[in-house]
Amino acid sequence: MQQLASHHAAQLAAPTLVKTGNDLTVSWVRHQDELRAAQRLRYQVFHGEWGARQLSEPSGLDHDAFDEHCEHLIVSLAESADAPAQVVGTYRVLLPDAARRAGRYYTDTEFDLTALEPLKPTMAELGRSCIAAPWRTGGVILMLWTHLIRFLSDNGVERAIGCASVPMPDGGANAARLWQELRSSHLVPEALRVRPRVALPVDLLPSEGAADWPPLVRGYIKIGAKVLGAPAWDSDFGCADLPMMLDLAAMSPAYRKRFMVD
């Protein structure tokens, strides 16, 4: 088993292995085979389910240049008599120092983040959120978020940004409706807003009726995240991406207690 040549000392501040019920384990990736398992799950969801274009090799793995700079959190299902062990959920974290080494955040590829420049010394990025279909009932995402928030807090992170993806089987109409709803109640102040590099043409899309909120977007808003601006159109992944930011200090007391930030 090849160990990752990680230079991220901050990773050691997070719990490395936590066993839970239902034979699930939460851990930070330490070895190459664990990272490949996470990338394989990402490929199955983003490319197999969403129809994203294959941008990376080898086939069957979703990866990009940011992976080597990130910490990767995984939820794994233990091996059983009927099936081998498998990764059923994953998230990656780009810490502020790692973002400087990488030269930018992944979110920079889709949005102009100039307005966030003063926040970058304590701003991390969450991304590549992915859960296997049978496990999308809430428990796995809560496990991931609990360890992510603790990790960010332990490492002095004050805010986390990321892209919340909205699938577009309807050509983007639901994403446009979602943006109209979010901008009226969950938009950051003007001084912090970012601009999409390739904007989803929300003004040209039908926006009547109520939006169908993806679970990830609903979850982000529930724990206190805000929208940073209008959605971008990600043609490679066939989705609209909403720029989100979570201010750890602004989380509700209930969620701060649940995630044990204090």
How large a percentage of the chain has pLDDT more than 90? 70
- DSSP H/E element including 19: strand 17-19
- SS3 call for 163: strand
pLDDT of 247 higher than 50: yes
Domains present along the chain, CATH in parentheses: 9-259 (3.40.630.30)
Angle between helices 173-183 and 215-222 in degrees, nearest 10: 10
Contact between residue 63 and residue 90 where contact means Cβ atoms under 8 Å apart: no
Q: Is the pTM of this model over 0.75?
A: yes
* Tokens 């420049």 belong to residue: 117
Specify the DSSP class assigned to residue 56: S
pLDDT cut 70: percent of the chain above it? 89
The arithmetic mean of pLDDT across residues 217-246, rounded, is: 94
Which residues, including other chains, have CB under 8 Å from residue 189's CB and lie 6 or more apart?
none
Using a CB cutoff of 8 Å and minimum separation of 24, what contacts does 149-152 make? 149/248, 149/251, 149/259, 149/261, 150/14, 150/15, 150/259, 150/260, 150/261, 151/13, 151/14, 151/71, 151/73, 151/93, 152/93, 152/124, 152/248
For 123-145, write each residue's pLDDT tens digit: 999 999 999 999 987 789 889 99
Q: Decide if pLDDT at 7 tops 50.
A: no
| Residue 18 confidence (pLDDT) above 90 | no
Query: What is the token pair recorded at 59?
Result: 């086939």
Cα gap 106→70, rounded to integer Å: 11
Structure confidence by residue, pLDDT tens digits, 55-88? 555 578 999 999 999 999 999 998 777 777 899 9
Per-residue three-class SS string for 92-111: EEECHHHHHHHCCCHHHHCE
Is residue 261 predicted with pLDDT exceeding 80? no
Measured CA to CA, the distance from residue 89 to residue 136 in angstroms comes to 9
